[in-house]
Amino acid sequence: MTGVQTGSVTSLGLADGQVGGNDVADFNIERVCQNFPILREKVYGKQLVYLDSAATSQKPQGVIDAMSRFLLKKNANVHRGVHHLAERATEAYEGARVKAQRFLNAEHANEIVFVRGATEAINLVAQSYGKKHVGEEDEVLITAMEHHSNIVPWQMLCEQKNARLRVAPINDNGELLLDEFERLIGRKTKLVAVTHVSNVLGTINPIRHIVEMAHARGARVLVDGAQAVPHLKIDVQALGCDFYVFSGHKMYGPTGIGVLYGRSELLEEMPPYQGGGDMILSVSFEKTVYNVPPYKFEAGTPNMAGAVGLGAAIDFLAGLEHEALAAHEKEVLAYGTRMLSAVPGLRLVGTAHAKASVLSFVLDGVHPHDIGTILDREGVAIRTGHHCAQPLMSRLDIPATARASLGCYNTRQDIDALVAGLDQVRELFQ
């Protein structure tokens, strides 16, 4: 409902970003939107219609408040202090870790490593687990729909180790070719790294099935959950994956904080990624003894306010009854698909059967950047370009797309505003 005025916006008066399951059990969109003050902004005198949540989501008041409360009342360095504030800060930081554990249904809190985001998490796994286990002529398998963040770290590893990066193909709808995928997992495959949801196509990949195929051949699986966590209920134990990564900022949390989930026994045996404070038990010039996971991987002062904000974002999502949120998002996606398909000269890019809140498209005779610029003047914010997925653009034989992506706050009216903007684009270019 970013295009609709919601009247006076009041906080729901709930603590730490909580929206209270019963309050929005029927997914009261007005009340959900009231949590996001930025949605009241005007752009060029027009009501903002925010359709760029796949790039970064907007932040609910509860997240903003939780971070500011931390800075106002609890700020001190974690783990090291004996004074009261240090205790408060540590409690808040470690409390956020437990929230993340529950959010992913991880078995143990020490399987949750705080990182800057999905990108850092993937680099960590590549340079720690990967460096230890991927040898000469071994293989890392990714897919044709990966974000650069799930390509380049593996390319770097393969260059360092003289290993081979293999790429599983997709069909024209943007779905993984699972037979081909299975064929590519061989004796030499040490790691499979696959996105849960594509940021360009919206495709939801069958992670459980992929994990079963990979594990049957002894390969470990990393899942890039950056685009999945705001939309899907994640259960890492049910998925069976070895690593799961995501960024806070795409799920209504702050930037600069994210999570690497790794199964305990893997994190235990992995070497540290970076050296410094907090990741050690003792240091002498002769030898350093490393801390246990997750601290072994959290060198230096962490993003404490960020972790608290992420915890509040998890509370916010927990407060939106998941079935109702999923039904709402599905309905808006279906409406968007229908409405965009009816625009003359428009072609949707990514028409997978299982799809989450992304609508990528191209329009005959108009460069996506021009679409984005004209829509912006109407207050409609979308993304245009290659979306950090240049190999996917090559596979699809297009230089770029326009992409509208949805969050919990978007409605049919937002889609209508998008389509009205596209009518103007077409008038200007015809």
Complex with ligand PMP: residue 122 or 425, whichever CB lies closer = 122
Q: Does 303 bind ligand PMP (CB under 6 A)?
A: no
Using CB under 6 A as the binding rule, the residues of this chain from 182 to 241 that contact ligand PMP are: 195, 199, 224, 226-227
**Position among 12, 24, 64, 118 found at the interface with ligand PMP (CB under 6 A):** 118
Q: How far is the CB of 42 from ligand PMP (least distance, A)?
A: 27
Contact 49, 379 (CB under 8 A): yes
Using CB under 6 A as the binding rule, the residues of this chain from 236 to 275 that contact ligand PMP are: 247
Complex with ligand PMP: residue 29 or 389, whichever CB lies closer = 389
String marking each residue 4-43 x if it binds ligand PMP according to CB under 6 A: ----------------------------------------
> Using CB under 6 A, which of the segments 37-45, 102-110, 116-124, 312-320 binds ligand PMP?
116-124
Using CB under 6 A as the binding rule, the residues of this chain from 340 to 379 that contact ligand PMP are: none
Complex with ligand PMP: residue 248 or 319, whichever CB lies closer = 248
Q: How far is the CB of 356 from ligand PMP (least distance, A)?
A: 11
**Position among 6, 119, 203, 303 found at the interface with ligand PMP (CB under 6 A):** 119
Question: How many of the chain's residues bind ligand PMP (CB under 6 A)?
Answer: 13
Q: Tokens representing 26?
A: 């029927």
Q: Which residues contact 255 (CB under 8 A, 6 or more apart)?
A: 56, 117, 247, 248, 249, 306
**Position among 57, 58, 150, 401 found at the interface with ligand PMP (CB under 6 A):** 150
Contact 150, 142 (CB under 8 A): yes
Contact 114, 122 (CB under 8 A): no
Q: How far is the CB of 255 from ligand PMP (least distance, A)?
A: 8
Q: Does 52 bind ligand PMP (CB under 6 A)?
A: no
Complex with ligand PMP: residue 27 or 114, whichever CB lies closer = 114
Q: Does 110 bind ligand PMP (CB under 6 A)?
A: no
Burial class (CB in 10 A: 0-12, 13-18, 19+), 367: middle
Complex with ligand PMP: residue 257 or 408, whichever CB lies closer = 257
Contact 203, 175 (CB under 8 A): yes
Contact 251, 316 (CB under 8 A): no
**Position among 3, 17, 60, 117 found at the interface with ligand PMP (CB under 6 A):** 117
Complex with ligand PMP: residue 224 or 315, whichever CB lies closer = 224
Complex with ligand PMP: residue 195 or 401, whichever CB lies closer = 195
Q: Which of 33, 241, 388, 408 is catalytic?
A: 388
- State phi, psi for 137 to the nearest 5 degrees: 70, 5
388 is catalytic: yes
String marking each residue 387-426 x if it binds ligand PMP according to CB under 6 A: -x--------------------------------------
Contact 362, 345 (CB under 8 A): no
What is the rounded radius of gyration, in angstroms, for the C-alpha atoms of the chain?
Answer: 22
Q: How far is the CB of 9 from ligand PMP (least distance, A)?
A: 28
Task: Say how many C-beta atoms besides its own lie within 10 A of residue 136's C-beta.
Answer: 8
> Applying CB under 6 A, which residues contact ligand PMP?
117-119, 147, 149-150, 195, 199, 224, 226-227, 247, 388
What residues are labeled active site?
A: 388
